[in-house]
Amino acid sequence: MQQLVFIIQTVGPVFLIIALGYLLRRLGLINQNFISLSSQIVFNVSLPVLIFLELIELDIGEAFPAGQIGYIYIGTLIFFAFLWLGARPFIHDGRDLGVFIQGSFRSNFAIVGLAVISNVFGKEGLARGSLVLGSIVPLYNTLAVIALTIPKNQGERISLGHTIFEILKNPLIIGAIFAVPFAYFNVSLPPLFRTTGEYLADIALPIALLGIGGTLHIREIKQVSMVAVVAMILKTVLSPLLLTYGAFLFGVRGLSLGILFILFGAPTAIASFIMAEAMDCNSKLAGQIVLISTLASIVTISAGLYILLKTGLIQVG
Protein backbone atom coordinates (compact mmCIF):
# COMPACT_ATOMS: atom_id res chain seq x y z
CA MET A 1 0.00 0.00 0.00
CA GLN A 2 2.83 2.38 0.85
CA GLN A 3 4.40 1.84 -2.58
CA LEU A 4 1.07 2.52 -4.30
CA VAL A 5 0.61 5.80 -2.43
CA PHE A 6 4.15 6.80 -3.37
CA ILE A 7 3.52 6.09 -7.08
CA ILE A 8 0.31 8.13 -7.04
CA GLN A 9 2.06 11.04 -5.33
CA THR A 10 5.04 11.07 -7.67
CA VAL A 11 3.70 9.98 -11.06
CA GLY A 12 0.25 11.53 -10.61
CA PRO A 13 1.35 15.21 -10.78
CA VAL A 14 3.06 14.66 -14.14
CA PHE A 15 -0.13 13.44 -15.78
CA LEU A 16 -2.32 15.92 -13.89
CA ILE A 17 -0.36 18.76 -15.50
CA ILE A 18 -0.89 17.09 -18.88
CA ALA A 19 -4.61 16.89 -18.06
CA LEU A 20 -4.55 20.57 -17.06
CA GLY A 21 -3.05 21.45 -20.43
CA TYR A 22 -5.88 19.59 -22.14
CA LEU A 23 -8.47 21.40 -19.98
CA LEU A 24 -6.93 24.82 -20.59
CA ARG A 25 -7.00 24.18 -24.35
CA ARG A 26 -10.66 23.15 -24.17
CA LEU A 27 -11.51 26.28 -22.16
CA GLY A 28 -9.71 28.47 -24.68
CA LEU A 29 -7.16 29.73 -22.16
CA ILE A 30 -4.33 28.42 -24.32
CA ASN A 31 -4.33 27.89 -28.08
CA GLN A 32 -2.17 26.30 -30.74
CA ASN A 33 -0.09 29.44 -31.09
CA PHE A 34 0.78 29.35 -27.38
CA ILE A 35 1.61 25.65 -27.57
CA SER A 36 3.84 26.10 -30.63
CA LEU A 37 5.74 29.08 -29.24
CA SER A 38 6.13 27.65 -25.73
CA SER A 39 7.32 24.34 -27.18
CA GLN A 40 9.98 26.16 -29.18
CA ILE A 41 11.15 28.00 -26.05
CA VAL A 42 11.27 24.76 -24.05
CA PHE A 43 13.08 22.80 -26.76
CA ASN A 44 15.54 25.51 -27.75
CA VAL A 45 16.18 27.24 -24.42
CA SER A 46 14.74 25.82 -21.18
CA LEU A 47 15.38 22.12 -21.67
CA PRO A 48 18.98 22.56 -22.92
CA VAL A 49 19.64 24.82 -19.91
CA LEU A 50 18.14 22.18 -17.60
CA ILE A 51 20.39 19.49 -19.09
CA PHE A 52 23.41 21.81 -18.88
CA LEU A 53 22.83 22.67 -15.21
CA GLU A 54 22.28 19.05 -14.22
CA LEU A 55 25.35 17.77 -16.07
CA ILE A 56 27.82 20.35 -14.76
CA GLU A 57 27.16 19.00 -11.26
CA LEU A 58 28.34 15.52 -12.25
CA ASP A 59 31.79 14.02 -12.29
CA ILE A 60 31.53 12.90 -15.93
CA GLY A 61 34.42 10.48 -15.63
CA GLU A 62 32.80 8.62 -12.73
CA ALA A 63 29.12 9.22 -13.39
CA PHE A 64 28.94 8.41 -17.10
CA PRO A 65 26.97 5.14 -17.27
CA ALA A 66 28.79 3.60 -20.24
CA GLY A 67 27.28 0.17 -19.66
CA GLN A 68 23.78 1.59 -19.34
CA ILE A 69 24.14 3.70 -22.51
CA GLY A 70 25.57 0.70 -24.36
CA TYR A 71 22.60 -1.41 -23.33
CA ILE A 72 20.17 1.32 -24.44
CA TYR A 73 21.82 1.52 -27.85
CA ILE A 74 21.93 -2.24 -28.39
CA GLY A 75 18.42 -2.82 -27.03
CA THR A 76 16.94 0.01 -29.10
CA LEU A 77 18.64 -1.17 -32.29
CA ILE A 78 17.42 -4.74 -31.79
CA PHE A 79 13.88 -3.53 -31.05
CA PHE A 80 14.04 -1.22 -34.09
CA ALA A 81 15.04 -4.13 -36.34
CA PHE A 82 12.28 -6.28 -34.82
CA LEU A 83 9.70 -3.56 -35.57
CA TRP A 84 10.88 -3.11 -39.14
CA LEU A 85 11.00 -6.83 -40.02
CA GLY A 86 7.80 -7.62 -38.16
CA ALA A 87 5.69 -4.81 -39.61
CA ARG A 88 6.90 -4.85 -43.20
CA PRO A 89 4.72 -7.82 -44.34
CA PHE A 90 1.58 -6.16 -42.91
CA ILE A 91 2.05 -2.43 -43.59
CA HIS A 92 2.64 -1.89 -47.27
CA ASP A 93 2.44 1.90 -47.51
CA GLY A 94 5.91 3.28 -46.74
CA ARG A 95 4.46 6.46 -45.24
CA ASP A 96 2.56 4.36 -42.71
CA LEU A 97 5.38 1.90 -42.06
CA GLY A 98 7.90 4.61 -41.14
CA VAL A 99 5.45 6.30 -38.78
CA PHE A 100 4.56 2.97 -37.16
CA ILE A 101 8.22 2.11 -36.55
CA GLN A 102 9.08 5.53 -35.15
CA GLY A 103 5.97 5.64 -32.96
CA SER A 104 6.76 2.22 -31.51
CA PHE A 105 10.29 3.00 -30.32
CA ARG A 106 10.80 6.76 -29.98
CA SER A 107 10.34 7.73 -26.34
CA ASN A 108 9.19 11.05 -24.90
CA PHE A 109 12.00 10.76 -22.37
CA ALA A 110 12.97 14.43 -22.59
CA ILE A 111 9.69 15.63 -21.11
CA VAL A 112 7.52 12.91 -19.57
CA GLY A 113 10.51 10.72 -18.72
CA LEU A 114 12.56 13.40 -16.98
CA ALA A 115 9.49 14.69 -15.14
CA VAL A 116 8.72 11.23 -13.74
CA ILE A 117 12.37 10.59 -12.89
CA SER A 118 12.64 13.93 -11.10
CA ASN A 119 9.59 13.17 -8.94
CA VAL A 120 10.49 9.55 -8.21
CA PHE A 121 14.29 9.69 -7.83
CA GLY A 122 14.96 13.35 -7.02
CA LYS A 123 17.94 15.44 -8.07
CA GLU A 124 20.35 12.53 -8.48
CA GLY A 125 17.91 10.77 -10.77
CA LEU A 126 17.35 13.94 -12.79
CA ALA A 127 21.09 14.40 -13.27
CA ARG A 128 21.56 10.80 -14.39
CA GLY A 129 18.49 11.02 -16.59
CA SER A 130 19.84 14.17 -18.25
CA LEU A 131 23.09 12.38 -19.01
CA VAL A 132 21.18 9.48 -20.56
CA LEU A 133 19.03 11.90 -22.57
CA GLY A 134 22.03 13.70 -24.02
CA SER A 135 23.51 10.34 -25.02
CA ILE A 136 20.46 8.89 -26.76
CA VAL A 137 19.27 11.91 -28.75
CA PRO A 138 21.66 11.11 -31.65
CA LEU A 139 20.41 7.52 -31.77
CA TYR A 140 16.74 8.46 -31.74
CA ASN A 141 17.16 11.15 -34.38
CA THR A 142 19.17 8.92 -36.69
CA LEU A 143 16.75 5.99 -36.45
CA ALA A 144 13.78 8.33 -36.95
CA VAL A 145 15.29 9.69 -40.18
CA ILE A 146 15.99 6.15 -41.40
CA ALA A 147 12.47 4.95 -40.54
CA LEU A 148 10.74 7.88 -42.23
CA THR A 149 12.96 7.96 -45.31
CA ILE A 150 13.78 4.45 -46.53
CA PRO A 151 10.29 2.85 -46.53
CA LYS A 152 8.75 5.90 -48.21
CA ASN A 153 11.46 6.24 -50.86
CA GLN A 154 12.01 2.48 -51.32
CA GLY A 155 15.67 2.40 -50.41
CA GLU A 156 16.75 5.88 -51.48
CA ARG A 157 20.11 6.75 -49.94
CA ILE A 158 20.23 9.00 -46.89
CA SER A 159 22.64 11.91 -46.78
CA LEU A 160 24.99 10.98 -43.93
CA GLY A 161 26.48 14.47 -43.74
CA HIS A 162 23.07 16.13 -43.54
CA THR A 163 21.93 13.68 -40.86
CA ILE A 164 25.03 14.30 -38.74
CA PHE A 165 24.58 18.06 -39.10
CA GLU A 166 20.93 17.85 -38.01
CA ILE A 167 21.94 15.83 -34.94
CA LEU A 168 24.77 18.15 -33.90
CA LYS A 169 22.60 21.26 -34.13
CA ASN A 170 19.97 19.73 -31.83
CA PRO A 171 19.72 22.08 -28.79
CA LEU A 172 19.70 19.15 -26.35
CA ILE A 173 22.99 17.89 -27.79
CA ILE A 174 24.45 21.40 -27.67
CA GLY A 175 23.45 21.75 -24.01
CA ALA A 176 25.12 18.44 -23.15
CA ILE A 177 28.29 19.25 -25.12
CA PHE A 178 28.69 22.64 -23.46
CA ALA A 179 28.35 21.03 -20.03
CA VAL A 180 31.24 18.60 -20.54
CA PRO A 181 34.17 21.03 -19.98
CA PHE A 182 32.42 22.60 -16.96
CA ALA A 183 31.91 19.16 -15.38
CA TYR A 184 35.34 17.81 -16.35
CA PHE A 185 37.27 20.82 -14.97
CA ASN A 186 34.84 21.31 -12.07
CA VAL A 187 34.05 24.91 -13.10
CA SER A 188 31.27 26.60 -11.12
CA LEU A 189 28.92 29.13 -12.68
CA PRO A 190 28.81 32.62 -11.14
CA PRO A 191 25.70 33.02 -8.95
CA LEU A 192 24.16 35.52 -11.38
CA PHE A 193 24.22 33.06 -14.29
CA ARG A 194 23.40 30.07 -12.09
CA THR A 195 20.22 31.68 -10.75
CA THR A 196 19.18 32.89 -14.19
CA GLY A 197 19.71 29.41 -15.58
CA GLU A 198 17.67 27.86 -12.77
CA TYR A 199 14.76 30.18 -13.56
CA LEU A 200 14.82 29.01 -17.18
CA ALA A 201 15.27 25.35 -16.25
CA ASP A 202 12.42 25.42 -13.73
CA ILE A 203 9.84 26.25 -16.40
CA ALA A 204 10.99 23.55 -18.85
CA LEU A 205 9.05 20.51 -17.67
CA PRO A 206 5.79 22.18 -16.47
CA ILE A 207 5.37 24.20 -19.68
CA ALA A 208 6.26 21.20 -21.82
CA LEU A 209 3.73 19.01 -20.00
CA LEU A 210 1.02 21.66 -20.47
CA GLY A 211 1.90 21.70 -24.16
CA ILE A 212 1.51 17.93 -24.42
CA GLY A 213 -1.94 18.16 -22.85
CA GLY A 214 -2.87 21.00 -25.17
CA THR A 215 -2.06 18.90 -28.24
CA LEU A 216 -4.26 15.97 -27.20
CA HIS A 217 -7.61 15.60 -28.95
CA ILE A 218 -9.44 12.99 -26.91
CA ARG A 219 -12.40 12.85 -29.31
CA GLU A 220 -10.09 11.43 -31.97
CA ILE A 221 -9.82 8.19 -29.99
CA LYS A 222 -12.92 6.97 -31.85
CA GLN A 223 -11.00 7.28 -35.12
CA VAL A 224 -7.81 5.57 -33.97
CA SER A 225 -6.62 2.88 -36.38
CA MET A 226 -5.54 -0.62 -35.42
CA VAL A 227 -2.01 0.25 -36.57
CA ALA A 228 -1.88 3.00 -33.95
CA VAL A 229 -3.20 0.65 -31.25
CA VAL A 230 -0.52 -1.95 -32.03
CA ALA A 231 2.18 0.76 -31.97
CA MET A 232 0.88 1.93 -28.58
CA ILE A 233 1.03 -1.60 -27.15
CA LEU A 234 4.55 -2.09 -28.47
CA LYS A 235 5.69 1.28 -27.07
CA THR A 236 4.10 1.27 -23.63
CA VAL A 237 3.90 -2.46 -22.82
CA LEU A 238 6.22 -4.68 -24.86
CA SER A 239 9.21 -2.34 -25.07
CA PRO A 240 9.51 -1.63 -21.31
CA LEU A 241 8.67 -5.22 -20.42
CA LEU A 242 11.26 -6.88 -22.65
CA LEU A 243 14.04 -4.33 -22.41
CA THR A 244 13.73 -3.76 -18.65
CA TYR A 245 13.68 -7.51 -18.07
CA GLY A 246 16.75 -7.82 -20.27
CA ALA A 247 18.54 -5.23 -18.14
CA PHE A 248 17.50 -7.15 -15.02
CA LEU A 249 19.05 -10.31 -16.44
CA PHE A 250 22.29 -8.39 -16.95
CA GLY A 251 22.30 -7.45 -13.26
CA VAL A 252 21.04 -3.85 -13.51
CA ARG A 253 19.32 -2.71 -10.32
CA GLY A 254 18.30 0.41 -8.42
CA LEU A 255 18.35 3.86 -10.03
CA SER A 256 19.81 2.58 -13.31
CA LEU A 257 17.02 0.04 -13.73
CA GLY A 258 14.38 2.66 -12.88
CA ILE A 259 15.74 5.07 -15.48
CA LEU A 260 15.82 2.33 -18.12
CA PHE A 261 12.22 1.37 -17.38
CA ILE A 262 11.03 4.97 -17.65
CA LEU A 263 13.02 5.52 -20.85
CA PHE A 264 11.54 2.46 -22.56
CA GLY A 265 8.07 2.93 -21.05
CA ALA A 266 7.56 6.64 -21.72
CA PRO A 267 4.94 7.44 -24.37
CA THR A 268 5.77 8.23 -27.97
CA ALA A 269 7.55 11.56 -28.42
CA ILE A 270 5.60 14.47 -29.89
CA ALA A 271 8.61 15.04 -32.14
CA SER A 272 7.55 11.90 -34.02
CA PHE A 273 4.43 13.74 -35.22
CA ILE A 274 6.42 16.83 -36.17
CA MET A 275 8.95 14.80 -38.14
CA ALA A 276 6.27 12.74 -39.87
CA GLU A 277 4.55 15.91 -41.04
CA ALA A 278 7.81 17.52 -42.16
CA MET A 279 8.92 14.42 -44.08
CA ASP A 280 5.60 13.85 -45.89
CA CYS A 281 4.60 10.74 -43.97
CA ASN A 282 1.28 9.86 -42.33
CA SER A 283 1.17 12.57 -39.68
CA LYS A 284 -2.43 11.70 -38.75
CA LEU A 285 -1.30 8.20 -37.75
CA ALA A 286 1.65 9.71 -35.86
CA GLY A 287 -0.71 11.97 -33.91
CA GLN A 288 -2.95 9.03 -33.02
CA ILE A 289 0.02 7.08 -31.66
CA VAL A 290 1.14 10.04 -29.54
CA LEU A 291 -2.38 10.46 -28.16
CA ILE A 292 -3.14 6.90 -27.12
CA SER A 293 0.40 6.08 -25.94
CA THR A 294 0.32 9.15 -23.67
CA LEU A 295 -2.99 8.06 -22.16
CA ALA A 296 -1.90 4.43 -21.83
CA SER A 297 1.39 5.35 -20.17
CA ILE A 298 -0.49 6.74 -17.19
CA VAL A 299 -1.34 3.14 -16.30
CA THR A 300 1.73 1.32 -17.62
CA ILE A 301 4.36 3.59 -16.03
CA SER A 302 2.52 3.58 -12.71
CA ALA A 303 2.10 -0.20 -12.76
CA GLY A 304 5.72 -0.81 -13.76
CA LEU A 305 7.15 1.43 -11.06
CA TYR A 306 4.88 -0.16 -8.48
CA ILE A 307 6.15 -3.63 -9.41
CA LEU A 308 9.78 -2.50 -9.33
CA LEU A 309 9.27 -0.92 -5.90
CA LYS A 310 7.29 -3.86 -4.52
CA THR A 311 9.94 -6.35 -5.58
CA GLY A 312 12.76 -4.19 -4.20
CA LEU A 313 14.46 -3.81 -7.60
CA ILE A 314 14.46 -0.04 -7.14
CA GLN A 315 14.62 1.99 -3.93
CA VAL A 316 13.55 5.56 -3.30
CA GLY A 317 13.86 8.00 -0.44
The residues spanned by each domain of the chain are 2-310
CB 264 within 8 A of CB 237: no
Residue 248: CB partners within 8 Å, gap ≥ 6? Answer: 257, 313
CB 178 within 8 A of CB 54: no
pLDDT by residue (tens digit) across 95-105?
999 999 999 99
| Average pLDDT of the chain to the nearest whole number | 92
pLDDT by residue (tens digit) across 144-154?
989 998 888 76
Q: What is the mean pLDDT of residues 198-224?
A: 93
Provide φ and ψ at 268, rounded to 5°.
-65, 135
Per CATH, the architecture of 2-310 is what?
Up-down Bundle (1.20)
d(C-alpha 150, C-alpha 80), whole Å: 14
pLDDT by residue (tens digit) across 153-210?
765 566 777 777 877 788 999 999 999 899 888 899 999 999 999 999 999 999 999 9
Q: What is the mean pLDDT of residues 101-110?
A: 97
pTM for this entry: 0.91
Provide φ and ψ at 55, rounded to 5°.
-75, -30
Q: Tell how many helices (H) and how many strands (E) occur in the chain.
A: 16, 0
Of all residues in the chain, the percent with pLDDT exceeding 90 is: 77
- Write down the pLDDT at residue 156: 59
Cα 229-233-239 angle, rounded to 5 deg: 145
